[in-house]
Structure formats: C-alpha cells, structure tokens
Amino acid sequence: MSAHASAHAAPLVVKLGGRALETPEALRELAADLAALAPVVLVHGGGAEVSAWSEKLGFPPRFSNGRRVTDAGTLEVATAVLAGLSNKRLVARLREAGVDAVGLAALLESGRVPVLASIGSHAGELLNVNADDLAGALAAALRARALVLLSDVPGVKLSGAFAARLDRDAIAAALESADVSGGMGPKLAAAALALDHGVASAHIGAWGGPGSLRAVLDRRAGTTLASADSSTLSLTTAQPHA
C-alpha cells in the first residue's frame, strides 16, 4: 500500500519522550518503524531539556502529579525549547533518516508526518501543555487507530510487576493506586481519554531499538490499554517511501 493511499486511513498517534529516543541513532531506527505504519502523527515532549534550560536561567523545575508547574518564566523557556530547538532538531533528524517529517501543520493527506510540539494557547496566551495530555486529546480528535506513548518506561508497573493489559476499569483503579506516580499518571489519563473517544487501543512502552514500535503495537511488549470489549487491534500498514 502506498503512503498516499494509507493517508486516508485513521492515523496512528505516537508520543515520543524519555532519554531512550534522544540520540540520532535511535531516531534513525525509529524512522524505519514509522515508514511501515503511515499515516502517523508524532507528538513530542522535551522535559529533560526544558528542565535543564530552566535551571540555567534561574527557574527551578516544579511538578504536580507528573505535570510541570509552569510560571511565566518557565513558559518562555518551554516555548523556546519545545516549539523551537527540540521540534526543529527532531524534524531535522527524522528527515535525515528518510521520514518526510514537517513541524507544526497536519499534512496527512500528502503523506507527510506532522511533528507537533506541546505548546498551546488560550485567550491569546501561550500554554505549556503536557505532551501525554496533548497526545491523548489528539488521538481522540483524530479518531486515531491507536495511541502509543513511547519513552524509556517499559509499561505500567502494578504490585511490583509490569501489566501486559489493562481494560478501562483497571485504568481507573490504577490511577487511584499508590503504584502510579510521577509521569505515569498523565500517560494513563491520556490513554483513558483516547479510549473514551473511540480509539481502539492505547499502548505504553519503551524504545529498545529497531522493531520496538511494532512490538508494542503487536502487544509483545509494553502495556496495552483497551476497552473491555476490545480484543483485537487492526493496523493499516504501508511500505516505506520510494
């Protein structure tokens, strides 16, 4: 199936985060996975880089329930890093690896891969949006065929073990559990939002090299989150761009 033909299918929404995907080598490997799964929309964070620049500029990072507390100074840093340095660097590395990536605009019909920074606006003011929240809302709005939250976290850990699958009720219970803290809360909330708006499944997993994205989607790695009556996942695949 050509990339242009597959562009009419529901897109796959993938959120990138964590240090496992910061190297050019990892992005080149990820590019091969993405080429076989078009159409794809990428959402990226950049929390470590935002924190580093905030520290340098005198704005100590603060978090609440896994989300960054963003004052006026931190907002300027987050905007500059996420919508500027981080987004442009990611797009450049993906394009160098053969992915027709483009920042800012959704251009799925032309077979491109939009790469969206997690900066929004309200009432004329910029907002630093949690990237997991953005990915979940985007998947819901696009009626994505699946949502993947890909980072350096292997999955959802409950009672000392990683869960292979959670249904909607189990997600709600996990969000109330002491086992879920830090950044896992926003990931589970994003998955719940996507499922509640008709997305067939969401997946939380780690990047571990070539084939990692497919392994997470095929439920061979990570944690799959799906409605109680969802037992299968159908993906439209495409061959890499010629």
Q: Where are the domains of the chain?
A: 4-226
- Confidence at residue 115, expressed as pLDDT on a 0 to 100 scale: 84
C-alpha to C-alpha distance for 4 and 17, rounded to whole angstroms: 27
236 three-state secondary structure: coil
Q: What pTM was computed for the model?
A: 0.79
Looking at domain 4-226, its CATH superfamily turns out to be: Acetylglutamate kinase-like (3.40.1160.10)
- Confidence at residue 25, expressed as pLDDT on a 0 to 100 scale: 83
Sheet holding 40-44, edge to edge: 101-103, 113-117, 40-44, 12-16, 146-151, 201-206, 223-226, 165-166
Q: What is the pLDDT along the chain (242 residues), one digit of tens a residue?
A: 344 444 468 899 999 887 777 777 888 888 888 888 888 998 988 888 899 999 999 999 999 989 999 999 989 988 888 878 788 888 888 888 888 887 643 756 667 788 888 888 788 788 899 999 999 999 999 999 999 999 999 999 999 999 999 999 999 999 999 999 989 999 999 999 999 999 999 999 999 999 999 999 999 999 999 986 544 333 333 333 33
For every residue of 24-63, DSSP letters joined together read HHHHHHHHHHHHTT-SEEEEE--HHHHHHHHHHTT----E
- Confidence at residue 102, expressed as pLDDT on a 0 to 100 scale: 73
